[in-house]
A and B are shown apart, each in its own frame.
Chain A
């Protein structure tokens, strides 16, 4: 029945073959509930006097809201309450603000303009779902339709419509550039030396995760002034934090119940239905269900975003790829959601599993008037992998080499240097190719059959080459018309000496001391303050670390803290108690040198930080797993 096949003869000496579960049939612990219909998803909880919430949505890709007329809807049967932008206490958020990445750029309910078709402009809460639908349809919006842009490259033009006011250039800020840069060696020198140049563009469309259960939540006023929220979220604490932030209420008032998800695939992290339902419950004092129907799931449910990749390879006649450049465009849709992260993650994956001495990439996260994009099964990776592997076939055709052979020739071997300056280990593409060829009855040469991931690295392949640097594409330059090119430029403005490794960084400071990473749990050695010569461990820096933006859930503490400034009153008729305001963050604690050539994106947007304790730098690169005496070798970061 199972189509899984184990190739245990491969890398056998690196593995302790004591697997107890993998490869053996198992009974799911939750399956009895599934087959008896007793598994309780979020909607499988019944409440007396349940109300239903439905949204009025934009029919336009891009439009200013002149006014919203709810008078007819408010008079319709069963209608309990109409909810508008002004009812959302803190109506601007970005998902990753919970980890201090990116600027707040998206309202829960649009108040001044809509930037994609289907964006919510109002919600109706009524006794029955049909009543809520009919009243939502009776809401009249006076639209001023604006020009829209639906194509990533169009959106980069200086005269393109501005999609998102927070990012006026239509690009996410990867400080200091409007894109993520990857530079390794000198691609243009590589192209000049190559026998052939192979360039092509690959386009992926958005893909809806389409879980069987649509996104939704039920919020119920509980005793002790708390709100109970049953939700189908994939990210319970994300949804809780986001709800607390948008509704400006302490997270201690929120009781979230979830974990039983009717399919997610990434589409249930965006935390929209939870704040909506909780807001409804706060405003009406009754249980409120906010559930997307299938059309909403398809239209406004954030998909895997569209991606466009331009790949340019310099290839030698013998098939060696000597230079590869990427220009990547992630279509974020109207708001950031998780696309900023997809961009960074995608760059970390380049140039694919191949050893290429000169690599450059410019990767943009671009705002267009399309449905915002979010997570889906390997997002940031799957699209570019598709492009890379199509391109490998194209290269093979151009140089007249068997496509599998081309892959084996260029595949990473253990010990090779990767473009982001980490040494490749546990590589297995060669063996993968051999097994696939075998299965497909594809003939490989004796040489290809003899190849191995364990051999073949050379001093040259292990080295970090001298790297050409450039400064092109600083934030704002494109809109001002000073830059037009998107591909990695030929005009280098500096060289980084061969062998420069760059530095490892802990990406994001933790928000609260209790979120500190414990070395026993992650497995890499934390510097001992005494031993590390002054570099304080992360926890020591915590008090000086700025807190997240004002409205995020306040720490559940402090009698000892100085009394917070009073928060301004807000428009919600039944506002939840305002949390104590925290001082605005000055700056995330960790930044790289601006010149660091392989710097991954970081979330800072502000000017240079005030004097801070020296950022934490692990003395060993992060590796997954634990490596402790007495613990199975299988659990170490070695090959699995």
Chain B
């Protein structure tokens, strides 16, 4: 039988073992439980109210791991991330789905985590460790622990772009999502970060496209180069939503649309 335990003070959380699941919004954990909960022995409910807070911290914003997509949408400081939070499921899902849960949501989910990847967020574990989100996502599934918060640098709304490609609108699972952080200084792009969702087993960076754009002006030639290189190192999969072939065909097209929107 599956035990359920409240976690009112995350600082004193036990290290979760392999059969322990953290229950945040529950949109994925409850689904697993409804379908038999195979492999789950114990559930840790995140009930610590501190985990739901969103506040400014240093040059950025700290988002509690248990903050929901609706909480993000209510935070003016996070305006640049609103387009990503807005497309996670329908309204009821957004009232439940948390930022922390999104970091662990398997393919094809993880739209918000992908946006956080493009935003170069830091992940803060309950035991005090902190690491870049890219490292956290890379080790996902192999490392256990409880995420307490993520911090994101303050983003200029005009420099951050998000796009979700799905078959049904407005709600629909991503067959691909793209986010781009395109900081500009003096007519040139700074360090560009581009993330792809649903183009691999986790949110991934399009490093080829980033290199093609960083330090250049966002002109047609640069956009061409970015689109040509955007699939470097990515290995999308076939799934019921789209084939690998289809994803490869349309990824450059959607990236181009996103970039041309900015120009």
Interface residues of A (CB under 8 A from B): 77, 130, 133-134, 137, 293, 295
Chain B residues near A133 (CB-CB < 8 A): 35-36
Q: Is B92 located at the chain interface by the 8 A CB criterion?
A: no
Interface bits B37-80 vs A (CB < 8 Å: 1, else 0): 11000000000000000000000000000000000000000000
- Given A134-B37, A134-B38, A137-B38, 7 further pairs, Cβ under 8 A: A77-B1, A130-B33, A133-B36, A134-B36, A137-B36, A293-B34, A293-B35
Interface bits B229-245 vs A (CB < 8 Å: 1, else 0): 00000000000000000
Chain B residues near A134 (CB-CB < 8 A): 36-38
Pair B37/A130 contact, Cβ less than 8 Å: yes
Chain B residues near A293 (CB-CB < 8 A): 34-35
| Chain A, Cβ-Cβ closest to B31 | A294
Pair A295/B35 contact, Cβ less than 8 Å: yes
Instruction: Label chain A's interface by main secondary structure.
Output: helix
Question: Which of B35, B36, B37, B38 counts the most chain A CB atoms within 10 A?
Answer: B36
Nearest CB on B from A285, distance (A): 26
Inter-chain CA distance A293–B37, complex, in Å, is 14
Nearest CB on B from A212, distance (A): 15
How big is chain B's contact interface, by range? under 10
Inter-chain CA distance A130–B37, complex, in Å, is 8
Number of A-B pairs whose CB atoms are under 8 Å? 14
Inter-chain CA distance A137–B36, complex, in Å, is 9
Q: Which B5-42 residues have C-beta < 8 A from chain A?
A: 33-38
Nearest CB on A from B33, distance (A): 8
Nearest CB on B from A634, distance (A): 41
Chain A residues near B37 (CB-CB < 8 A): 130, 134
Query: Which 4 pairs across A and B sit closest by C-beta, in order of nearness?
Result: A133-B36, A134-B36, A137-B38, A137-B36
Inter-chain CA distance A77–B2, complex, in Å, is 12
Nearest CB on B from A134, distance (A): 6
Inter-chain CA distance A380–B36, complex, in Å, is 37
Nearest CB on B from A54, distance (A): 9
Inter-chain CA distance A295–B240, complex, in Å, is 14
Cβ contacts A to B, 13 pairs, < 8 Å: A77-B1, A130-B33, A130-B36, A130-B37, A133-B35, A133-B36, A134-B36, A134-B37, A134-B38, A137-B36, A137-B38, A293-B34, A295-B35
Q: Which B208-240 residues have C-beta < 8 A from chain A?
A: none
| Chain B, Cβ-Cβ closest to A133 | B36
Chain B residues near A295 (CB-CB < 8 A): 35
Inter-chain CA distance A134–B38, complex, in Å, is 7
Inter-chain CA distance A130–B1, complex, in Å, is 9
Nearest CB on B from A289, distance (A): 15
Interface residues of B (CB under 8 A from A): 1, 33-38
Question: Which of A133, A137, A295 counts the most chain B CB atoms within 10 A?
Answer: A133
Chain B residues near A137 (CB-CB < 8 A): 36, 38
Chain B residues near A77 (CB-CB < 8 A): 1
Inter-chain CA distance A293–B36, complex, in Å, is 11
Nearest CB on A from B168, distance (A): 13
| Chain B, Cβ-Cβ closest to A78 | B1
| Chain A, Cβ-Cβ closest to B2 | A130
| Chain A, Cβ-Cβ closest to B37 | A130
Nearest CB on A from B37, distance (A): 7
| Chain A, Cβ-Cβ closest to B34 | A293
| Chain A, Cβ-Cβ closest to B36 | A133
Nearest CB on B from A465, distance (A): 47
Nearest CB on A from B82, distance (A): 31
Chain A residues near B34 (CB-CB < 8 A): 293
Inter-chain CA distance A295–B34, complex, in Å, is 11
| Chain B, Cβ-Cβ closest to A132 | B36
Inter-chain CA distance A295–B35, complex, in Å, is 9
Inter-chain CA distance A567–B38, complex, in Å, is 44
| Chain A, Cβ-Cβ closest to B38 | A137
Chain A residues near B38 (CB-CB < 8 A): 134, 137
Inter-chain CA distance A498–B36, complex, in Å, is 66
Inter-chain CA distance A295–B38, complex, in Å, is 15
| Chain B, Cβ-Cβ closest to A295 | B35
| Chain B, Cβ-Cβ closest to A136 | B36
Inter-chain CA distance A293–B38, complex, in Å, is 16
| Chain B, Cβ-Cβ closest to A293 | B35
Nearest CB on A from B157, distance (A): 39
Nearest CB on B from A514, distance (A): 46
Chain A residues near B35 (CB-CB < 8 A): 133, 293, 295
Inter-chain CA distance A361–B231, complex, in Å, is 48
Nearest CB on B from A110, distance (A): 21
Inter-chain CA distance A225–B57, complex, in Å, is 71
Chain B residues near A130 (CB-CB < 8 A): 33, 36-37
Inter-chain CA distance A134–B41, complex, in Å, is 12
Inter-chain CA distance A137–B33, complex, in Å, is 14
Chain A residues near B1 (CB-CB < 8 A): 77
Nearest CB on B from A299, distance (A): 12
Nearest CB on B from A353, distance (A): 33
Nearest CB on A from B7, distance (A): 22
Nearest CB on B from A553, distance (A): 37
Chain A residues near B36 (CB-CB < 8 A): 130, 133-134, 137
Inter-chain CA distance A134–B1, complex, in Å, is 9
Nearest CB on B from A188, distance (A): 40
Nearest CB on B from A150, distance (A): 16
Inter-chain CA distance A133–B36, complex, in Å, is 6
Inter-chain CA distance A293–B34, complex, in Å, is 9
Nearest CB on B from A207, distance (A): 14
Inter-chain CA distance A369–B135, complex, in Å, is 44
Inter-chain CA distance A369–B38, complex, in Å, is 28
Inter-chain CA distance A293–B31, complex, in Å, is 11
Inter-chain CA distance A77–B37, complex, in Å, is 15
Nearest CB on B from A637, distance (A): 42
Inter-chain CA distance A295–B1, complex, in Å, is 23
Nearest CB on A from B3, distance (A): 13
| Chain B, Cβ-Cβ closest to A77 | B1
Nearest CB on B from A575, distance (A): 32
Nearest CB on B from A293, distance (A): 7
Inter-chain CA distance A264–B46, complex, in Å, is 40
Nearest CB on A from B27, distance (A): 15
Inter-chain CA distance A134–B34, complex, in Å, is 11
Nearest CB on B from A72, distance (A): 14
Question: Which of A130, A137, A293 counts the most chain B CB atoms within 10 A?
Answer: A130
| Chain B, Cβ-Cβ closest to A54 | B36
Nearest CB on A from B171, distance (A): 16
| Chain B, Cβ-Cβ closest to A131 | B1
Nearest CB on B from A3, distance (A): 21
Inter-chain CA distance A430–B1, complex, in Å, is 67
Inter-chain CA distance A295–B31, complex, in Å, is 12
Nearest CB on B from A210, distance (A): 13
Inter-chain CA distance A173–B251, complex, in Å, is 49
Nearest CB on B from A56, distance (A): 12
Nearest CB on B from A76, distance (A): 10
Nearest CB on A from B100, distance (A): 25
Nearest CB on A from B43, distance (A): 13
| Chain A, Cβ-Cβ closest to B33 | A130
Nearest CB on A from B236, distance (A): 22
Inter-chain CA distance A402–B143, complex, in Å, is 64
Inter-chain CA distance A244–B3, complex, in Å, is 43
Inter-chain CA distance A130–B35, complex, in Å, is 8
Inter-chain CA distance A590–B20, complex, in Å, is 66
Nearest CB on A from B4, distance (A): 13
Nearest CB on B from A573, distance (A): 27
Inter-chain CA distance A134–B35, complex, in Å, is 9
Inter-chain CA distance A174–B38, complex, in Å, is 46
Nearest CB on B from A206, distance (A): 13
Inter-chain CA distance A77–B1, complex, in Å, is 9
Inter-chain CA distance A137–B37, complex, in Å, is 11
Nearest CB on B from A330, distance (A): 24
Inter-chain CA distance A447–B7, complex, in Å, is 79
Nearest CB on A from B28, distance (A): 15
Nearest CB on A from B147, distance (A): 28
Nearest CB on B from A283, distance (A): 23
Inter-chain CA distance A130–B38, complex, in Å, is 10
Inter-chain CA distance A130–B36, complex, in Å, is 6
